[in-house]
Amino acid sequence: MQKRTLGRGLEVSAIGLGCMGMSQAYGPNPGSRDDMITVLRGAVDLGVTLFDTAEVYGPYVNEELVGEALAPVRDQVVIATKFGFRIGEDGLDSRPEHIRAVVEASLRRLRTDVIDLLYQHRVDPAVPIEDVAGTVAELIAEGKVRHLGLSEASAATIRRAHAVHPVTAVQSEYSLWTRDPEGEVLPALYELGIGFVPFSPLGRGFLTGAIDATTAFAADDMRGGLPRFTEENRAANAALIGRVTALAAAKDATPGQVALAWLLAQQPWIVPIPGTRRISRIRENLAAADLVLSPDELAELDALAAGVRGERYSAAQFSHVDR
């Protein structure tokens, strides 16, 4: 598996694994907990070294799952987790004392003595980002955390945090059909030497070609409540996936591999974290690191975003995004 470096020295596999969907958000899990442990350990065998979780996934149970699965191979992997939500309530909490409490609980659930990459899950407007970065810097000095990360943060917030303590990685949604970070965030990361970790790099499954206007989402599948996944918008966005699928066929690849290869081609410090519950999908996703797209193919794909229909979140869901 190819390797990439986030920030100042955090080496990880070129493609990581987002673990959230193993515990929530995308409808009933077809596998058991033991099945998911097998998938996580199989990912390590295939060369994945970056695993992404958070206390709020479940909540809590995803960290427990990741901790149990990776405990036997802890020295081979990088575990990223997150703080920042007031669990059980609809709100954010990045107060220093809350960060410390979350870290202690996450360490126990993850069965480790250090968190490799600790993200602020969402920017808390009630707490200066300098206080957040300073608290994580103290935890790094204490040996409980190795690297600071931010998620869904604006370029201005990233700069302020980085001035207090080096930010290793920023995580935000980025894919062929979600291009928001290109305006200000990616240029700031390039300037500051910070890595970028796109979540939902496959458009929450749409860019794999597995979803169309007729797809019925389960009641507990978050996509059913996202504007971009209304039946009307899925039908309108069919042209996008049609072009990706055609290019994939010409390259003897899958649409998902083309989408991931496009992301990897944007910058050498971008490390996408597609989520899946199946080892076959992990194997498919990792093969994207070897798929080479020509300048003309990249340019054709670049043009696709202009026709995307539907916001990625509702107005209420955007309330927790720093813009």
Q: Which of 191, 113, 195 is nearest to 150 (CA)?
A: 195
**Pseudo-torsion of CA 149, 199, 155, 11, nearest 10°?**
50
- Residue 57 is among the residues annotated as catalytic for this protein: yes
**Using an 8 Å Cβ cutoff, are 1 and 289 in contact?**
yes
Label residue 143 left, alpha or beta by phi (over 0 means left) and psi (-120 to 50 means alpha): left
**Using an 8 Å Cβ cutoff, are 51 and 70 in contact?**
yes
Q: Would you call the peptide bond into 255 cis, given omega within 30 degrees of 0 as the criterion?
A: no
Which residue's structure tokens are 């994580």? Answer: 136
Return the structure tokens found at 150. 């931010």
Helices assigned H by DSSP within the chain: 33-46, 61-70, 96-110, 129-141, 155-164, 185-192, 231-236, 238-250, 255-266, 279-286, 295-302
User: Cα separation of 76 and 155, whole Å?
Assistant: 32
Q: Is 192 helix (H, G, I), strand (E, B) or coil?
A: helix
Q: Determine which one of 26, 57, 119, 174 is catalytic.
A: 57
Residues facing residue 85 across a β-bridge: 92
Q: Which of 265, 120, 155 is nearest to 201 (CA)?
A: 265
Residues facing residue 197 across a β-bridge: 171
DSSP designation for 154:
-
* Active site residues per annotation: 57
